[in-house]
Amino acid sequence: MATVLEPRTTMVPPAEQLPDVLPTDRLTATGMPVPELRAELRRIDDVRNAGQVLLAWVQAVVTIGAAVWLHHPLGYLAAIVLMGPAFARFAIIGHEAAHKLLFTNKRVNDLVGRWLVAYPAFVPLEAYRRSHFAHHKDELGPNEPDMNLYVGYPVTRASFRRKLWRDVRGSSGWKNLKGLLLALRSRTARPVALRIVGAQAVLLAAAVLAGRWWAYPLLWLLPWMTSWRVINRLRAIAEHGGMQRSPDRRQTTHHVRQSWLARFFLVPLNTGWHLAHHVDMGVPWRNLPKLHAELEAAGYITPELTYPSYRALWRALSSRPDAEQ
């Protein structure tokens, strides 16, 4: 497993941990599946994906409904925490829609992706799609849209705590919400911003009709600004924190052994198989473990490249000695 006991000066794996094993009869020189295998792995399951959209809403409604029914401070606190994973599910389904992998019908893909997934979660799907494709085109390159999330690692533990505290107290969330509000003043961004505001108005109206208007700011907006921000940062740095620009995806993207607990709280819908996703971004979430298994079988992903848990990776990401930063 990846060594995490000593302080790290870089998160990029050394050359000796990157065996030159490609191409094979099933994978190309970049790790992408050969055409026959690619056709199999790129199949989209419309019915099951529709079920995932429904399940995301069930998770959110049950979480909020249980807190309102209990009507206890600890219940509300638990709901604020558990709505973080609910927003993570919305985010990953929206990510699939941005890749046009949610439904085979592209109009349905965008309609559902926008109005039932992205806009309720404050995501401008159109802008996100453009920036996310820039991310895939050249990870950690000069046009990387999320560079501020990934650079500088490993950091000190104190720096890591400060980043997470900004998320917990809502500073990061306010920065994102402020950007949405400012978009209302932009001629080009206003149409999408108004759609997001419209989706939020529907959610607020539903809370008002239920006689619990306060459930919207307390159990929808507040978790989005706090617990979801923590999850989003922890997931993002576990994907690319401290890595470098390279055509070899093993130098741009971490891989972590997946657990059921992590898949619920942090990386739902197989997003934890992120290295496989970057090898071939046209493979839907459901088939990423199969592509990962192909990469392992070829010797491209090795035990030395695999972190045993997210905690182990976060320890490595925050292992820089205080004196060095």
pLDDT per position as a tens digit, 15-26: 999 999 999 999
Q: Give the model confidence (pLDDT) of 59-102 as tens digits.
A: 999 999 999 999 999 999 999 999 999 999 999 999 999 999 99
Q: Is the pLDDT of residue 323 over 90?
A: no
Yes or no: say if 44 and 290 are a contact pair by the CB < 8 Å rule: no
- Per-residue pLDDT tens digits for 209-245: 999 999 999 999 999 999 999 999 999 999 999 999 9
In the chain, what are the domain boundaries? 1-42+232-325, 46-137+170-225
The model's pLDDT over 114-142, given as tens digits with 9 standing for 90+, comes to 999 999 999 999 999 999 999 999 999 99
pLDDT tens across 242-296, in order? 999 999 999 999 999 999 999 999 999 999 999 999 999 999 999 999 999 999 9
Q: Mean pLDDT of all residues in the chain? A: 95
Please report the pLDDT score of residue 322 as a whole number.
Answer: 79
| CA-closest candidate to residue 241, choices 171, 300, 310 | 310
pLDDT in tens, 164-199: 999 999 999 999 999 999 999 999 999 999 999 999
The rounded Cα 200 to chain-centroid distance in angstroms is 22
